[in-house]
Amino acid sequence: MDSVKVGVVGCGTVGSGVVKILLENGRLIKERTGKEIELTLVADRNVERVRKLGVPEELIVDDGFAVVESDVDIVVELVGGTTVAKDIVRKALENGKHVVSANKALFASFGEELFSIAAKNGVSIRFEASVGGGIPVVKALNEGLIANKVEKILGIINGTANFILTEMTERGISFEEALEVAKEMGYAEANPSLDVDGIDAAHKIAILASIAYGGWITIDDVYVKGIREITPLDVDFAHEFGYKIKLLAVAKPDDGKVEVRVHPAMLPEGHILSSVDGVFNACLIEGDFVGPTLYYGMGAGQKPTASAVVADVADIACGRGSSVPVSLLGRGARIPVKRPGEFVSSFYLRFTAVDKPGVLAKISSILGKFNISIKMALQKSIEFNGGVPVVMTTHEAAFETVKEAIAEIDELDVIVKPTFLCMIEE
């Protein structure tokens, strides 16, 4: 293609950024690629928003399907969600259009179906911006690490949750207070559930795991737990034990299955991901030959995400690379995924107990009954949720066994609140 026609569907934060880049840096992109990337149509229900970007009136429509049915070569879908967006992407592919999207929820739920349609119609889907904003982690997995077996992926891939945990760590404030700061600064939505409950990160790790391990993994395969239960006390105890708390996304193969999970985790303070603070994202990918590699940067926001979208458009125009590993295209393969009960980890346990002698002995007795070995233990005579905190870290144990032990401990008359559990990623 010497000239490529592009239609943008959805002109919100990211869509506006894409339009700005194509209008302002079109000449630069042509100089670097040798391709004329022509902004042909921009669709948004709020046409006034599009006009304010300086888009010529004849290029503005209020119906995304008008773009799909036009003569554009590439449809950039930035509507979001899994309803209208799915219909637009499906129709575009069926009409022989290439698709570029930042829609993590769509690909984590319907990737297998959509990529199969793309393969059938001889077109590609590019989705770099769906994970890590402007960080080229998809391309790294898809191309740069193609010669490696991926032994592990560890990611801090939600900037909102990372900002909240950073505020709690640095300022000693509660989750609720840190969330309000995040909202005031525009990092958190009015309804922050997708971020703080780990769902956004789960979509992203499902996509990365699918690429890394050559089979489709969906959001339903991911164990997910958010950060709402973390308290300043947990942050302080983590520091005493030599850890920092992060919302961590993990994918790793083990004995013919893949373990995929998102949850708060304690990382050693010297771990490279422990230094990733604020709204920044980072992804640590370890290959069998290349060893550990790190991808770090702004994981969201208009400019970084729009930059990744336009890079995908340029790659299609230049015929560079593949939108997804050939092993996935149309194969319909599913990878066996570990259930949470099969996870093995070290754990941090925070019990809330009455302040009287013998509490630690009762807890330790039950843990011993389940063959759970205690690594460190602390009990402090401070008021916490109607009791006093008793905290422990364990050696490695099966998640299911630890949960069974906690269920029995929580039935003790000396325990006044449900026990909080957090995995430790050494």
Choose among 390, 356, 352, 392: nearest CA to 372: 392
pLDDT of residue 314: 95
Q: Tokens at residue 366, please?
A: 């039950």
Cα–Cα distance measured from residue 209 to residue 220, given in angstroms and rounded to the nearest whole number: 13
pLDDT of residue 215: 87
- Work out the pLDDT band at 329, boundaries 50, 70, 90: very low
Question: Cα 194 to chain center, whole Å?
Answer: 10
Cα–Cα distance list, 199 to 206, 223, 265, 327 (Å): 11, 10, 16, 27
Domains contained in the chain, CATH given: 3-133+305-318 (3.40.50.720), 137-296 (3.30.360.10), 340-424 (3.30.70.260)
Amino acid symbol at 367: L
**pLDDT over 70 (residue 376):** yes
Question: Across all residues in the chain, what is the average pLDDT?
Answer: 94
pLDDT of residue 334: 75
Express each pLDDT in 251-267 by its tens digit. 999 988 999 999 999 99
Cα–Cα distance measured from residue 266 to residue 284, given in angstroms and rounded to the nearest whole number: 16
- The DSSP bridge partners found for residue 351 are 390
Contact 211, 162 (CB under 8 A): no
- Work out the pLDDT band at 150, boundaries 50, 70, 90: very high
403 is annotated as an active-site residue? no
**pLDDT over 60 (residue 330):** no
**pLDDT over 90 (residue 1):** no
Percent of the chain predicted with pLDDT > 70: 97
35, 139, 204, 246: which one is catalytic? 204
Residue 416 neighbours by CB distance under 10 Å: 16
Mean pLDDT of 334-348: 93
| pTM higher than 0.75 | yes
**pLDDT over 60 (residue 325):** no
Mean pLDDT of 190-206: 97
- Work out the pLDDT band at 27, boundaries 50, 70, 90: very high
182 phi/psi in degrees, rounded to 5: -60, -40
